[in-house]
Amino acid sequence: MADDDAPRKAPTFTLASLLLRALTLLGYRRPRIHLAILLALAVISLLAFAVLPVREVTVAADGTEITVTTRADSDEVLLRLADVELLPGDRVKRTQYAGGEVLAVERATPVVLEVDGRLLGLRTRSATIAGALAEANVKLGPRDSVLQNDVFVSPYDAIRPPPRLAALLPVGSADSSDAASGTESGPVSIEVRRAVPFTVHEDGQTLHFESSRTTVGLGLKEAGVQLGPGDSVQPSPATELAAGLEIHVEHAEAVTVTLPGSKIVLYTLTDTVGEALAEAGIALPEDSRLEPPAETAITAGMFVHVIRVSEELLLEEEYLESSTVYKPDSSLPPGETRRVEGYDGVLYRQYRILYENDVAVAWELVEEWYQPEPADTVVYYSTATESAPSEIGGGMEPPASLEGYEVLRTMRVYATWYCPASAGRSPTDPWYGITATGVPVTQGIVAVDPNVIPLGTRMYIPGYGFGVAADTGGGISGNMIDLGYPDGVIPDWISHWVDIYILAP
């Protein structure tokens, strides 16, 4: 009992005893072990606080840089201190250099993927569209298309976010300042359009294609089907391209139409020239014709001419000079002549001229008449004293100029003269001045009646000189000759009877 009466010591409380009592009250079965752990952590924290130095770390994210002063070394702590939130797919990259340390946040690109009727959201750090599609396990067919932000692109193009809102907002607005602060501009839109099969019936051929384009026109273009003006496409090019669609293409033919003063090109699906012109609203004037005719079938590259047709009457007059002809007259006394004067005339010709587009293409002689009709001057000469050819030696001696020539006989003839201009041909006539034997008319050419003096006969005519029978004429008959002179020479011959000498060849 003495022990009971002894005075008790007041209990002492230390930090360790207090922690031990707290752990006991919390129900820990081994409070001394847990107390040891807590004390170890406290000691480590005190040591870290004492050992780790205070340092500055630059956190770079979303286009901004924030400097954090801390003893912590954890990325999570540094990002939390810089008020930077990591999103799925983001990556943190730590870089140390002589001037300090940088903690850079590399953001993943948000993507909204539309494929096969589904919308998928993902964040990717892939540089290309193909990489993002591979992450989403989306495979592309050979004719499938990819659109990025509503623009057709290659799967191997880089992923490009849409333009920031700041570019579209007034400067100084709250929205524009937010957009310029480095925050994300919104997700990238990537759409995968699957190719669908369709059939094209073109120019009698049936072709099968696949395309991921949205309309018939774009699908045909991708398939290499060229559409030109006037072509027929059923259904229309603006129709949505759907799987199994049957497309009928009929190509128009180009027809060039030349009009008086102009030219147009028509593209038509009609069968004939007339139908093509009617479709284009081209009416033919009454005084025109078509070449080729309206019923002609349309062919590729055809030219059609609308020709204006007109006509007029033209009166032409030609002045005709009379000529002088010689005719025998047995009723005249020997050596005499009789002259009947003629007169000049006018020949009128009326033509119908056909014009096509104001160009004369045909002349038709409608009527011709003389007013008056020309009459030749006729010189009749006597044939009463004509004598038969006489042999040399019959009392007529040849002139001295024939010395050395063999004279076969003499003849008495009535001799006149002519030149190319008096022969009745125009100077533009290719036969102007050409004789019956093809030689030109000149001095020494004599026109004869070949029944009396054969062509090629050589002769001598007193007062004229030597000549050769090389021409004929309608007015030269019997014992008559016509002595030739070139143009520009004034003859000194007067028509009369004369004795000529026929020479040996």
pLDDT of residue 21: 61
Instruction: Give residue-wise pLDDT tens across range 228-256.
Output: 999 999 999 999 999 999 999 999 999 99
pLDDT of residue 169: 43
pLDDT of residue 75: 81
In which element (H, E) is residue 128 found? none
Mean pLDDT in residue range 204-212: 93
Instruction: Give residue-wise pLDDT tens across range 265-311.
Output: 999 999 999 999 999 998 888 888 899 999 999 998 999 999 999 99
CATH T-level assignment (fold) for domain 196-250: Ubiquitin-like (UB roll) (3.10.20)
Instruction: Give residue-wise pLDDT tens across range 137-174.
Output: 999 999 999 999 999 999 999 998 876 543 344 444 44
pLDDT of residue 443: 94
pLDDT of residue 10: 43
In which element (H, E) is residue 51 found? helix 31-51
Find residue 484's DSSP bridge partners. Answer: 418
Instruction: Give residue-wise pLDDT tens across range 321-358.
Output: 887 777 888 777 766 778 889 999 999 999 999 998 88
SS3 446: strand
Structure tokens at 505: 């060849």
Instruction: Using the CB atoms, write b or e for 294-320: b if 16+ within 10 Å.
Output: eeeebeeebebbbbbeeeeeeeeeeee
Average pLDDT, the chain: 83
Residue 315: pLDDT band (50, 70, 90) is: very high
pLDDT of residue 17: 60
pLDDT of residue 182: 43
Q: Strand 64-70's sheet: what is its strand order?
A: 64-70, 55-61, 100-106, 91-97
Q: In 10 A of CB 289, how many CB atoms? A: 14
pLDDT of residue 159: 92
Q: Out of 3.40.50.920, 2.60.40.10, 3.10.20.90, 1.10.530.10, which CATH number does the structure's domain 109-193 have? A: 3.10.20.90
Q: In 10 A of CB 489, how many CB atoms? A: 10
Q: Which residues contact 466 (CB under 8 A, 6 or more apart)?
A: 444, 458, 459, 460
Q: Which CATH superfamily is domain 286-384 in?
A: Resuscitation-promoting factor rpfb. (2.20.230.10)
> Could you identify the residue written with the tokens 């020997």?
334
Q: Out of 3.30.930.10, 3.40.50.150, 3.40.50.300, 2.40.40.10, which CATH number does the structure's domain 386-503 have? A: 2.40.40.10
For residue 61, pLDDT over 50 is answered with: yes
Task: State pTM to two decimals.
Answer: 0.48
pLDDT of residue 168: 41
Instruction: Give residue-wise pLDDT tens across range 218-231.
Output: 999 999 999 999 99
pLDDT of residue 49: 52
Residue 472: pLDDT band (50, 70, 90) is: very high
pLDDT of residue 26: 56
- For strands 465-471 and 302-320, give the pairing: unpaired
